[in-house]
Each structure stands twice: as structure tokens, then as C-alpha cells.
Chain A
Amino acid sequence: MNDLYNNAVGHWVIVTIAIALLLFTVLTATAYTVWFERVALGRIQRRPGPNRVGPFGLMQLAADGVKLAFKESFIPAKTDKVVYVVAPAIAVAAAFLSWAVIPIGLWYDVQYWIADLNIGILLIFAFSSLNVYAIVLGGYSSNNKYSLLGGLRSAAQLISYEMALGLALVPTFMIVGSLRLQDIVEYTVTWGPYHGPLPLIILTPVGFVIYLMAAVAETNRAPFDLPEAEQELIGGFLTEYSGLKFVMYYLAEYVNMITVSALAALLFFGGWYLWIVPPVLAFLGKVVLFLFLYIWLRGTFPRLRYDMLMRLGWKVLLPLAIANVVVTGIVLVALQG
């Protein structure tokens, strides 16, 4: 295997297969996240959710996909055609690229990843910032006031939450001393009689809370789904999109949702470590738990008003994140002398 990997051609073959496998996994996971969300939201509202297509409605997504794929690929008049078509593709590409560096824990020292980068988390932030281009460009090119408003809101929302999100994670890096996701999960402490991996939430609870809130805003999900805002903006940047281009945005939203859930599990809850639970199940369970949390939030809270969102981002989360960094720094220096 190693020989094959070191050979130039063999390397690319292996990487291509690995990418295909990962794409398949993430796509399947996305499909079932959508199913999970619809069922969970339904249960919150005391209805069963999709239950007609296949057992427990599990094939609903296939039916929806086929329906959307066969819809007319409609481009409204007076749109900026190239941008209009490219924007959804940017959304999907940005969403999937994050998964290049996210390690999927299969066993204690066996993980599945495409690229082993020592700045993994930075790359993820870079790609998640690209997502806003997709939304702004989509909103701008649609030549529709609702779309434009949705796109602008998205841009404003992103700059106010991206910083809080990044700063919320800085204490984690300060403690671990690495940006590599594998290192963060494998972070071990010796603490009295205990020696082993420690879920970092114990050390950075404030960072976790900020991350949780900022991540909801970052993925444009309720209660921070202002770029979409069906009630005020029809569908925001999505208003003029239909068929497969709509699917791309939709897909990107759910992939991003899985990404932030997986990151929360990796960064704060010890990734694939959970007592004696098999690592792959532990990892999956944690991700599903976070997905449920996001769905639960969506099922509970009404959308925030725009100025409230901005106030929360700039006046609460950002100062809190900065204070968190400063305090962590002081404690670290004091502990290490």
C-alpha cells in the first residue's frame, strides 16, 4: 500500500478513489440529514414527517431529487447569466471542500481524510467564508430586490459572525498548540491519576457556547436564517432559483450544517473518543446529536430581527470571544510559568 501510495500515478488513483468515496459518504449523509430534519421537525410539531416513500419515508429524498432534477432549468430574464449559474456551484464546491481536511474517525488511530494539513481548521474557515460569495453573487445576479436584500444580509451577517467564530476557537489552539484537527482530537492531558484524551469543552466552555451560536449564523440556519427569511424576503437569495440550481444551494446548506456539527464534535467533544464506545459510532453519534441540536433550535426559536442579530454578533459574541482569548492566555502563562 505504501509503495503504491508513493508512486506518482498510484498516489493520484488512491486520492481520486478516496475523494469519490468521501463525496458519496457526505452526499448520503446530507440526504439523510434532510430526512432527519423533516422527521424531527415534524415530531416537534406532532406530525409524522415524510412517511410515504419507502420504509419510514427514507426514500423521500430520492423522490424529491428526481422531481427537482426534471424541473425546467429556468433562468429569469435580465439576470447576469454567467454569475447566476456559477453562484450555486460555488456554494456546493465551498461546502464540499471543507471535508478535505476533516478527519472521520473510524478507529482509535485510523481516520479517513483526503489531505492531512497542519492548518486544517484555517482551511475550513477559508472555504466557509467562500460560501458567502455564492449567496451574495446569487442574490446580485438574480436581478430581484428580494434576492439582493438576501445577499446583502448574508454578507453583513457573515462579517459579524465570522470573527466571533474564529476567535471562539483561538483558546482551543492556544491550549493544544496546533491547528491540525487530528492533534486537537488526540490532545491528551495528565491530570492527577487521569492520563488520556480530554474533551476540550471542559477547558473552553465559553468558546463552545460562542462557537455554537456563531455556527448557526454562519450556516444561515434558523433562528439566524435572515438571508432566506421566507416571510419578509420571499426566499431571499433563493427567490429566483429553481430546479438543480436550487438543489445546489440546498445541498450546500446541509453539507455546511454537517460540517459545523462535525467540527463541534472534533474540537470540543473529543471526536471519536467516548469511553468504550467504538470510535466510528461515537463520532457518528456526536455529529447526529449536534445535528439534532440545530434542528431543535430551528423548531423552537423564531427568527431574530436583523438589528438584534447584529447587536448579538458585535456587542455580545465578539467582546466575549476576545475576553475569552485574553483570559485563556493569562491562565496559560500563569500555569506554565
Chain B
Amino acid sequence: MADEETKQDQPDNPTPLRRPGEGVPPPPQGERPGVVSDVVALGAGLKTTLQEFFRPVVTTMYPEDKTPRSERYRGRHYLRRYDNGLERCIGCELCAAACPVGCILVVAAENTDEKRVSPGERYAKTYEINMLRCIFCGYCEDACPVQAIVLGPEYELSDTSREKFIYTKERLLEPLPPDVQARLNDKASGTGTTPPHADPPHRAGR
């Protein structure tokens, strides 16, 4: 009775069984290692570790020493200004649309002749990035038509409260570090050492 049941449970084409001796690797050739060679092997291991003991330490003593970063490193964001002091950002919200995690908030306002903040028609009245959500993908930088938002080299962003991770416009408008400036100059002249993105950020299906 029980046998019949199990027979029914079996699939029509069970995996074929291995015949005796099939697929078994041949027994190793040559002599088995003896006690002496075993002890020699143990000694070799001890010698290796002792040699390592006397070789110099390879640890980088962070935070006193730091390893070099790539010049394309994507750290915290900066908002750029033109040389005449006007903000580049025109409040188009393309960066917010491109952001895969939706951590950018842009509220635009109209420029007037009395109060001109950016050369365009509009400017960003509010510009906030939630750094806790940001994945530092750099899509915002790619999306921006006027290259207003860029990612800088800083990666030490730890802080003591969640609120402090909402980077406001004032913080983002801080002057660019020189190496970011150099990278952007390279990009503008088109002859730079920085290669363009291999695959442009796809925005399909958003």
C-alpha cells in the first residue's frame, strides 16, 4: 500500500541513478604523505606566519592617513554658481525627476528684475537633499542641464541627528573644493582625463 503511494509520487522521468563506479574519480596516484612530510608541512606553515609577523603592517591608519580617491569619486553634493555670483540652478526639477530614490526636493520661484538669483526664468527657492536616502549614484549631476548640482569628494558625512542629514540650499551652495572644479573644467573642455559615462542613465519607465 505504502509502496504504491510512493510510486505514484515519483515523477515520470526520475533522475537516472549513477551506475556503480560511474563518475568516480580515479584513486590518487603516488605515495600517501607520511608523518614526516606532514610535520614538514606544519613547519612550513609556522614559518610562513612567522615571516609575515616581521613584515611591515599594511593598514592605513585612518583617519590620520587616507587612501587616495578616484578623481571621479561621488561624495556629498555641491550647488555651483556662475563666476558673477549668480546661482546656476534654474529650478527645473530634472534632478529630482532623475533621482532613483527621490531624495531631492526642489521648489522653484520666478526671478524678478529686482531679485535675480539665477540667469534663467526661475530659480530654486528651496533645494534640499536627504543624504540619508541618497545612494550617491550621480544621476542628478547627469540630469542637470546647467551643471548646477555636482558631487564632491567628501565621504565623511556622519552626524548626530537625522535632521542634520537634510542638506539645505545654504549648505549645498558652499564653495567647490578645487579638485571638483578641476574635474568640471576637464569635462567642459572635453579633453579631460575623466572618461564620460559608459552607459548614460536610462530614464525609461519613470
Contact = CB atoms under 8 A, between A and B. Distances in A.
A250 interface: no
Contacts of A43: 52-54, 57
A46 B57 contact: yes
A300 B46 contact: yes
Contacts of B52: 43-46
Given A40-B53, A43-B53, A44-B53, A300 B48 contact: yes
A31 B127 CA distance: 54
A47 B49 contact: no
Interface in B35-78: 42, 45-46, 48-50, 52-59, 61
Interface residues of B, number: 15
Contacts, number: 34
Contacts of A296: 46, 49-50, 53
A158 B46 CA distance: 26
B49 A300 contact: yes
Interface residues of A, number: 13
Interface in A35-51: 40, 42-48
Contacts of B50: 296
A182 B52 CA distance: 38
Nearest to B48: A300
A300 B42 CA distance: 9
Interface in A188-227: none
B46 A46 contact: no
B53 A301 contact: no
Nearest to A45: B52
A45 B55 CA distance: 10
Contacts of B53: 40, 43-44, 296
A329 interface: no
B62 to A, nearest CB: 11
A299 interface: yes
A44 B58 contact: no
A42 B56 CA distance: 11
Contacts of A299: 49
Interface in B3-48: 42, 45-46, 48
A44 B56 CA distance: 10
A224 to B, nearest CB: 14
Interface string B80-103: 000000000000000000000000
A1 B57 CA distance: 53
B52 to A, nearest CB: 5
Contacts of B49: 44, 296, 299-300
A47 B57 contact: yes
Given A46-B55, A48-B61, 4 more contacts: A44-B52, A46-B59, A47-B59, A301-B42
16 contacts: A43-B54, A43-B57, A44-B52, A44-B53, A45-B52, A46-B57, A47-B58, A48-B59, A296-B46, A296-B49, A296-B50, A296-B53, A300-B45, A300-B49, A301-B42, A301-B45
